[in-house]
Every structure is written in C-alpha cells, then in structure tokens.
Amino acid sequence: MSNILIIKHGSLGDLIQANGAIKDIKNFYSNRKVFLLTTQPYSIFMSECPYLDGVLIDKRLPRWNLFYLNNLKKTLAKYDFSKVFDLQNSSRTKFYKRFIIKDVEWSSTETSLDPGQKKKDFDKDPVLDRMEIQLKRSGIETEFTKNIDLSWAIENISRLIKQYANNEYILLFPFCSPKLKNKKWPYFKELIQKLKQEFKNKYPILLAPGPNEIKEAIELNGKVVLDNNASINIKKLVSLINGAKLVIANDTGPAHIASHLDKNGLVLFGSHTSAEKVSIENFNFKAISVKNLKDLDADTVLEEAKAKLN
C-alpha cells in the first residue's frame, strides 16, 4: 500500500504549529503509513510523535549538489509515496515537486488557492488558517490543525525542576536566531533584575538556552537550566514550559510551544511580523506588539507580567 509524505523542514516553532495538521493527516490516512521529511535538529523529537510512522532527514544541501539530490530522490522513491503534503511551501519544496518527487499527487499552497488568487495574497493570512485551507482542499477534516495537542511531548522532569526551582517558576526566552536579530527584545537582563526585586524568592527566574545560547544565558543572571551541563532536549523543553507559572519570550519556537500549551505568558513583537499572522495568541498567551522593540521598556513588560500573576 502506498505511503503519505509530509514535508516540514523547520524551524522548531513551525514544526510545533504543524503538529495539529500532522495529526489530522494521520487520522485521515489511518490505514497508510505517514512519514515526515524534516531536518536533523528535529528528527529525534519528531520520531517520537505518535502521528508519524517514520521520519526522513533532509540535509538541505545546495541544489547544485546533484549527487545529494539524486540520493535523496532514490531514497524517497523506495517509499512509494502516493501523496505529498508540502507544509513548508518553500522554493526548495517547489523544486522537489518538479525534480525529486515527480508524478505524485501534491498538496501545497498553490493547490489551495481560489481561482484568480495569488500566492502572495494567500500568504498574508494567519499560518494556521492557511494550513487548514490546504488540508480541506484535500478533503481532510481539520479537527486538530488549529487545536494542537502536545501532550505526547510532555514527560516527567521533576528531577530537573527540583534542581532549579520550587514548584513555581517564571521561564524566560531572551534568545532568537542570529539571522533574525530584529525579533530580539534587548532588555531581558533588566527585566530579570526587576522580577527578582518584585517577587524575591517566590518565583525563581529560569532560562532554557539552546546549545549556542548558554554563554548569553549565563550573562543574564537568571538560573540557567541545563541537563548534564548541556542544553535540554526538545521534549524536556516542552515539559519545562508546561510547568511554568509564567512564560515571557521573543517570537521564537518556545513561544509557540507556550501558546499551544495554553500557558500564561507574554510574547514580544516588533514590526517583523504580527501575532495574528503567526497564529500565536490565545486566551492566556498574549502578545505585546510595538513598532520597534527598543521602544518597549522593561517596566511595561514587568507590569504586564504582574497583572498575569495576580
């Protein structure tokens, strides 16, 4: 029996947001095997997702690397895919449709457009709305696409929490990709100092950096959560966020995790995009949006944090 392929390369926030769509696709194709094509950093995490039967790794090497592309084509051909759900919708995946996974039914942004609609206009809509439309165009009921269930990614981390906090803690994510520095609010160190003054020892201030963010985290004077002196893995990250009293973050992957866990929290937005477009706000998790993040002072964020903790 033929298999189903979902393509979602990353980032972490994008993969978190795709979890609902992945579940809906698997429910629709319950008698088929569903595979995910993604990148190495997320392969172990997504291999534990119960809605997938396997994870394939795409190194995303340059397209002039014909040797790699030919091997990728041969690998994918072994799985006899009958349909591809392109949830990445990038120029790379459009290239794959033409040259790597040809003659297969393909679901993408372009197959989801109304007559006369342009992709650039469709792309202005909120990401989860777009994903829902894409699946519905393939006849799939979208029960979970906008109602993402991350319970499968939560594990017992009581040992880790006891090491760094009491039962309640505030969790901050001051980091962002080096390529996206315009997403980074510059006053987290000042905020940490003000939170400590405000709450004393009631709420420890925790930071959970990625591998390349540990040095920066140490300099911010919060409690840096590590596991055997290394960054925690994604499932532990999800679990740490799930246990937080309050989450404050830049517009990054952890913010999307907090949102879809319906955590009490704040995400800080500049003009790089809008909270509506990235589908990140809900009843408990709210955005503070400003034109320039440098103009958002620490006292304003502190007051919003206090209001959420009262």
Question: 119, 134, 149: which is the final residue of a domain?
Answer: 149
**Could you tell me if 187 and 301 lie in one domain?**
yes
**What's the CA gap between 198 and 193, in Å, rounded?**
9
Judged on CB neighbours under 10 Å (0-12, 13-18, 19+), 1 is exposed
Q: What is the CATH number of the domain that holds 117?
A: 3.40.50.2000
Q: Which residues contact 95 (CB under 8 A, 6 or more apart)?
A: 63
Q: Provide the domain count of the chain.
A: 2
User: For the packed helices 253-260 and 234-242, what is the interaxial angle rounded to 10 degrees?
Assistant: 50
Q: Could you say which of 110, 129, 149 is where a domain stops? A: 149
Q: Are 301 and 288 in contact (CB under 8 A)?
A: yes
Residues 161 and 286 reside in one and the same domain: yes
Helices (H) and strands (E) in the chain, counts: 12, 11
Whole domain around residue 76: which residue ranges? Answer: 3-149
Examine the domain organization and report whether 218 and 137 are in the same domain. Answer: no
45 and 107 share one domain: yes
Banded pLDDT at 1 (limits 50, 70, 90): low
Tell me, yes or no, whether 139 and 174 share the same domain: no
Same-domain status, 287 and 197: yes
Describe the crossing of helices 12-28 and 127-136 by its angle, rounded to 10 degrees.
20
Question: Are 179 and 112 in a shared domain?
Answer: no
Instruction: List 6's β-bridge partners, or say none.
Output: 36, 85
Tokens 């809900």 locate to 282
Which CA distances in Å does 136 have to 56, 153, 260, 306?
A: 25, 26, 21, 41
Rounded Cα gap, residues 227 and 246, in angstroms: 21
What's the pLDDT tens digit per position in 207-229? 999 999 999 999 999 999 999 99
Q: 240-299 pLDDT, tens per residue? A: 999 999 999 999 999 999 999 999 999 999 988 888 899 999 999 999 999 999 999 999
Please indicate, yes or no, whether residues 287 and 234 belong to a single structural domain of this protein. yes
Q: How far apart are alpha carbons 248 and 286 in whole angstroms? A: 10
Of 3-7, 200-204, 225-229, the least confident? 200-204
Question: Which pLDDT score is estimated for 140?
Answer: 97
Q: H/E element holding 268?
A: strand 265-269
Of 130, 149, 168, at which residue does a domain stop? 149
> Are 130 and 107 in contact, with CB atoms under 8 Å apart?
no
Neighbours of 235 (CB within 10 A): 17
Residues 116 and 207 in one domain: no
Of the candidates 267, 268, 270, the residue with the CA atom closest to the CA atom of residue 282 = 267
Is 121 in the same domain as 71? Answer: yes
158-197: pLDDT as tens digits: 999 999 997 899 999 999 887 878 899 999 999 999 999 9
Question: Is there a single domain that holds both residue 242 and residue 257?
Answer: yes
Q: In this structure, are 166 and 228 located in the same domain?
A: yes
**Which pTM value belongs to this model?**
0.94
Annotate 61-108 with DSSP letters as a single string. Answer: --TT-HHHHHHHHHHHHTT-EEEEEESS--HHHHHHHHHTS-SSEEES
